[in-house]
């Protein structure tokens, strides 16, 4: 029987008047892999903090018979990593001047070094490059204990998690199966909810129409005319009274059915944005940006040397590279925000019609915490409030939530507000530094749709491979202090890379075989003692056949 590593009962946590956590019972068994999913602000991080003991619940108990470690989303690592994990994650011993990805590696290595029986991981992929993600996946796959994972990395959830906890309105709904099974079930439930709502509205309309017909019929039934005789009048009055009673009873029956009709809420469907964002002041030229870089350095480290960058108008370009290679530094140079010790020798030339919108990793600086979400948006929006509200709904802000002050929002919710501000300005060039960090999965999917339909030009940094795959139309990557452009999607680039690798392998195989044939030909020309010319000839002819087949593959 599996051992219980964590058990929680009747957890309640409120912030002001908002009940954030209202969970009756949770159990985690040895070797379980659980994905914790919910919208930004739902309380996922708060729940993990309560389970770990870092935050006290208002009510309830948490029993932790197993050892526990926590990979936090931000901040410094808890404790020191052992040498083995330092080497695996290539962590740097210094603490200052590290990139976001390098800090994430240190936090992961420190938590895994504790060898816990239960690992809590809050967005462990934050800022990790492709290499870091590969290392993380491998280490978590081989991790021998249980795992509770918060992540917007859909590939990681698919790979690791066999159970989903869905946190909504403070409640946890448990879904057996992985991420795709959860999303399919959620879709099925939403479709059934839509069906129930339509049935409810149809029945409600039918009852209202029946009640209206009864009212109209009752008003058409007249009392006995004054010229009628007494017997006829009594008969007519009795018929009129019976008709009125019948109508009254029917109306009460209909009203009773209406009163007891179970109300079905309309599911929250995402509205279409009919006005294309980013085209208020379009750039008519073919190119938005040309940059020539003689050298880009940070302190003594040279990041780029004698390279160029071009942004075609209307393109969506993903800037990719290893942690610490200089992606954020380059974006800051392009937006004129580079500070010491960064040095840039070169030229950045934007088209005169370009209007730049910049999304910093520290996006909260652009928001006024004392004003509401809608006020922060409308301060800069060039679009009407109706469209602003539509964009906010697409980013999973319910109608009444737009009146919340920014000060009460979670980090992910603030990121959504900052993104909405940019999308609704008159910018036609968006430069986004890690816009996917801190976003929940549902908002991430909506952002993919918004950027795919964006009418301007986009340059962004993201380590979320699925987001890059669905959003980018071209790739620019850091490679040995150069910027290498690929005109096509991430999938196109990977296919081309595989073709190039196969072609290189073929060239190596041909070269190796030709050298072996040359050596064998030399032996045939001057046989040594014990050599048999017939066998050498047969071996040479066999190699010639292989060489011919290889060259045919290459053509």
pLDDT digits (tens, 9 = 90+) for 334-393: 999 888 889 999 999 999 999 999 998 777 778 999 999 999 999 999 999 999 999 998
Q: Is residue 351 part of a domain?
A: yes
User: 286: exposed, middle or buried (C-beta count within 10 Å: 0-12, 13-18, 19+)?
Assistant: exposed
Q: How many domains does the chain have?
A: 4
Examine the domain organization and report whether 38 and 150 are in the same domain: yes
* Measured CA distances, 394 to 111, 256, 398, 450 (Å): 36, 38, 9, 8
pLDDT tens-digit profile of 24-62?
Answer: 999 999 999 999 999 988 999 999 999 999 999 999 999
What is the C-alpha separation between 444 and 470, in angstroms, rounded? 11
Checking if the pLDDT of 287 tops 90, the result is yes
Checking if the pLDDT of 237 tops 80, the result is no
Examine the domain organization and report whether 155 and 201 are in the same domain: no
Q: Is residue 268 part of a domain?
A: no
Task: State the alpha helices, DSSP H only, in 221-271.
Answer: 230-260
Sheet of 301-312, strands arranged across = 301-312, 287-298, 342-350
Asked whether the beta carbons of 433 and 331 are under 8 A apart, the reply is yes
Q: Can you give the pLDDT at residue 224?
A: 47
Examine the domain organization and report whether 198 and 254 are in the same domain: yes
Mean pLDDT of 277-306: 92
Asked whether the beta carbons of 26 and 49 are under 8 A apart, the reply is no
* Measured CA distances, 54 to 27, 148, 323 (Å): 18, 16, 30
CATH number of the domain within which 46 lies: 3.40.50.300
Asked whether the beta carbons of 167 and 38 are under 8 A apart, the reply is yes
What is the C-alpha separation between 498 and 491, in angstroms, rounded? 11
Examine the domain organization and report whether 67 and 190 are in the same domain: no
N- to C-terminal Cα distance for the chain? Answer: 60
Q: Can you give the pLDDT at residue 260?
A: 67
The three-point CA angle 140-145-148 to 5° equals 70
Domain boundary among 454, 471, 488: 488
Checking if the pLDDT of 141 tops 90, the result is yes
DSSP assignment, residue 278? T
Asked whether the beta carbons of 323 and 134 are under 8 A apart, the reply is no
pLDDT tens-digit profile of 101-111?
Answer: 888 999 999 99
Residue 320, beta-bridge partner list: 477
Which residue, 236, 224, 206, 177, is CA-closest to 34?
177
Q: Is residue 270 part of a domain?
A: no
Domain boundary among 125, 148, 177: 177
Which helix (H) or strand (E) element contains residue 28?
strand 18-29
Which helix (H) or strand (E) element contains residue 167?
strand 163-168
Q: Is residue 32 part of a domain?
A: yes
Checking if the pLDDT of 397 tops 60, the result is yes
**Predicted structure pTM score:** 0.75
Q: Is residue 394 part of a domain?
A: yes
Give the domain range for residue 245: 186-260
What is the C-alpha separation between 433 and 548, in angstroms, rounded? 51
Examine the domain organization and report whether 225 and 315 are in the same domain: no
Examine the domain organization and report whether 210 and 64 are in the same domain: no
Examine the domain organization and report whether 295 and 329 are in the same domain: yes
Q: Mean pLDDT across the chain, nearest whole number? A: 85
Examine the domain organization and report whether 141 and 216 are in the same domain: no
Examine the domain organization and report whether 381 and 500 are in the same domain: no
Q: Is 56 helix (H, G, I), strand (E, B) or coil?
A: coil
pLDDT tens-digit profile of 170-217?
Answer: 999 999 989 999 999 888 887 877 777 777 677 777 767 776 776 666
Residue 532, beta-bridge partner list: none
Q: Is residue 269 part of a domain?
A: no
Q: Is residue 130 part of a domain?
A: yes
Q: Can you give the pLDDT at residue 463?
A: 87
Examine the domain organization and report whether 192 and 166 are in the same domain: no
What is the C-alpha separation between 443 and 4, in angstroms, rounded? 34
Mean pLDDT of 265-286: 75
Checking if the pLDDT of 439 tops 80, the result is yes
């Amino acid at each position: 029987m599996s051992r219980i590593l964590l058990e929680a009962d009747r957890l309640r946590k409120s912030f002001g008047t908002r009940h954030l956590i209202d969970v009756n019972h949770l159990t985690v068994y040895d070797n379980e892999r659980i994905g914790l999913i919910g919208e930004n602000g739902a309380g996922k991080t708060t729940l993990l903090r309560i389970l770990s003991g870092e935050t006290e619940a208002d009510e309830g108990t948490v029993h932790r018979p197993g050892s526990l470690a926590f990979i936090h989303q931000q901040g410094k690592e808890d404790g020191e990593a052992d040498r083995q994990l330092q080497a695996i994650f290539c962590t740097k011993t210094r603490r200052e001047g590290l990139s976001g990805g390098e800090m994430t590696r240190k936090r992961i290595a420190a938590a895994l070094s504790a060898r816990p029986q239960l690992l809590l991981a809050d967005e462990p992929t934050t800022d990790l490059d492709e290499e870091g993600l590969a290392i993380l996946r491998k280490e978590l796959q081989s991790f021998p204990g249980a795992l509770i994972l918060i992540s917007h990395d859909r590939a990681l959830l698919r790979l690791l998690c066999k159970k989903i906890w869905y946190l909504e309105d403070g409640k946890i709904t448990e879904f057996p199966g992985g991420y795709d099974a959860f999303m399919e079930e959620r879709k099925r439930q939403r479709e059934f909810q839509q069906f129930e709502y339509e049935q409810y509205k149809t029945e409600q309309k039918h009852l209202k129409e029946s009640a209206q017909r009864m009212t109209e019929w009752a008003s058409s039934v007249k009392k006995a005319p004054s010229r009628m005789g007494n017997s006829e009048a009594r008969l007519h009055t009795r018929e009129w009274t019976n008709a009125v009673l019948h109508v009254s009873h029917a109306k009460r029956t209909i009203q009773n059915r209406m009163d007891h009709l179970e109300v079905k809420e309309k599911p929250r469907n995402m509205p279409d944005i009919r006005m294309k964002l980013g085209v208020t002041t379009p750039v008519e030229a073919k190119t938005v940006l040309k940059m020539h870089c003689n050298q880009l350095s940070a302190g003594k480290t040279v990041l780029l040397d004698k390279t160029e960058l071009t942004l075609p108008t209307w393109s969506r370009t993903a800037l990719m590279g290893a942690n610490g290679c200089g992606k954020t530094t380059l974006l800051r140079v392009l937006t004129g925000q580079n500070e010491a010790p960064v040095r840039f020798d070169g030229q950045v030339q934007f088209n005169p019609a370009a209007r730049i919108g910049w999304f910093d990793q520290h996006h909260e600086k652009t928001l006024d915490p004392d004003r509401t979400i809608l006020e922060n948006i409308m301060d800069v929006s060039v679009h009407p409030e109706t469209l602003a509200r539509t964009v906010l709904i697409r980013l999973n802000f319910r109608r009444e939530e737009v009146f919340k002050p920014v000060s009460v929002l979670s980090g992910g919710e603030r990121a959504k507000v900052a993104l909405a501000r940019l999308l609704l300005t008159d910018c036609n060039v968006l430069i986004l530094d890690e816009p996917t960090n801190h976003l929940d999965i549902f908002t991430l999917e909506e952002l993919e749709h918004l950027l795919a339909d964006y009418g301007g030009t986009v340059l962004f940094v993201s380590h979320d491979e699925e987001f890059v795959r669905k959003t980018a139309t071209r790739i620019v990557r850091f490679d040995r202090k150069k910027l290498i452009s690929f005109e096509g999607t991430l999938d196109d680039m990977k296919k081309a890379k595989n073709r190039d690798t196969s072609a290189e392998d073929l060239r190596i195989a041909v070269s190796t075989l030709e050298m072996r044939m040359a050596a064998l030909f030399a032996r045939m020309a001057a046989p040594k003692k014990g050599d048999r010319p017939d066998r050498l000839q047969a071996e040479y002819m066999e190699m010639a056949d292989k060489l011919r087949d290889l060259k045919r593959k290459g053509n």
